[in-house]
Amino acid sequence: MKVPPIPASFFGSVLGLAGLGGSWRAAHDVWGLPVWPGEALYAVAGIVWLVLLALYVAKWLVARADSIAEALHPIQCCFIGLVGVATMLVGAGALPHARPLAVALIAAGALFTLGFAIWRTGELWKGGRDPGTTTPVLYLPTVAGSFVTAASLGALGHPDWGQAFFGAGLFSWLAIESVLVHRLLTGEPLPPPLRPTLGIQLAPAPVGALAYLSVTQGPPDVLAHALLGYGVLQALVIVRLLPWITKQPFAPSYWAFTFGATALASTALKLVARGDLGPAALIAPALFVAANLAVGYVAIRSVISILRSARPTPAAAT
């Protein structure tokens, strides 16, 4: 039995699609935009998640050696955490329509994410890691996992549990960021294939802001504004680096940019929904348009790549 070699990093596409669905839901609440694009995006994210999950589980069943090698790889391993994160985001999409299903998906995703984060962090604490393999993928198991868990629990009406996970994500982010920035400032430049992972650098601040807003109430405070500001700064640095990053030809790794972009747009919109009339209201339209363009571009390029790879070669046709 042959199974397409689906790496865990492909689940990043679910994060981008579901993230844009959340942005459209927020835009509907704030600006009265049509609700159907957000629901359609969540539906597409759910279909993509289901297909990827089936293929990824099949890979573990029939290509166990490759799956284990991925789990032990110093960079690719961290993408496995996206399996749980994507599951929770699909659950968030289902929440307004089927709460029992949403609860089941969020619970399963949170448990997987927590278990993997504990295992992977334990491996990292053993030491012996090559500094050259330090990239923003390190955020995925503990930072992304904890923040999305916090936001999901807040959406389910459990802000106290969500606050605990927000703290886990916040302090993990601060610890990992210091290591990562030190490597970027003092180490060898990232080789072209790894440069798209810098898109993940955009995500922690706005995803953390979404988690924070999900587990708190009332008008936006200084921490919410600070997280938005840091997210915007990261976005501007990444835009400045795009000519350098895009020396790597298009690949599925470019989905790394989409979750942070959509989270930044959603953060500004949710701040406006909570009564913010300052910078968030000013930049929200631009961030929303940018998020749509980013996801749309990567999605179109991904579809083109899939169609090209599925096209039979002349040798195969004969």
Walk along the chain (318 residues) and give the pLDDT tens digit of each residue. Answer: 566 678 999 999 999 999 999 999 999 999 999 999 999 999 999 999 999 999 999 999 988 898 999 999 989 999 999 999 999 999 999 999 999 999 999 999 999 999 999 999 999 999 888 888 899 999 999 999 999 999 999 999 999 999 999 999 999 999 999 999 999 999 899 999 999 999 999 999 999 999 999 999 999 999 999 999 999 999 999 999 999 999 888 888 899 999 999 999 999 999 999 999 999 999 999 999 999 999 999 999 999 988 887 666 554 444
The C-alpha atoms of residue 226 and residue 215 are separated, in whole angstroms, by 17
* DSSP for 191-229, written as a single string: PGGGGGGGGGGGSHHHHHHHHHHHT--SS--HHHHHHHH
Any idea where the domains of the chain sit in the sequence? 8-309
Q: Mention the CATH class of domain 8-309.
A: mainly alpha
Collapsing DSSP to helix, strand or coil, 48 comes out as: helix
Closest CA to 38 of 87, 83, 115, 92: 92
Whole-angstrom distance between the N-terminal and C-terminal Cα of the chain? 24
Residues with Cβ < 8 Å from 247, sequence gap 6 or more?
A: 192, 195
Collapsing DSSP to helix, strand or coil, 132 comes out as: helix
* DSSP for 252-287, written as a single string: GGGGHHHHHHHHHHHHHHHHHHTT--SHHHHHHHHH
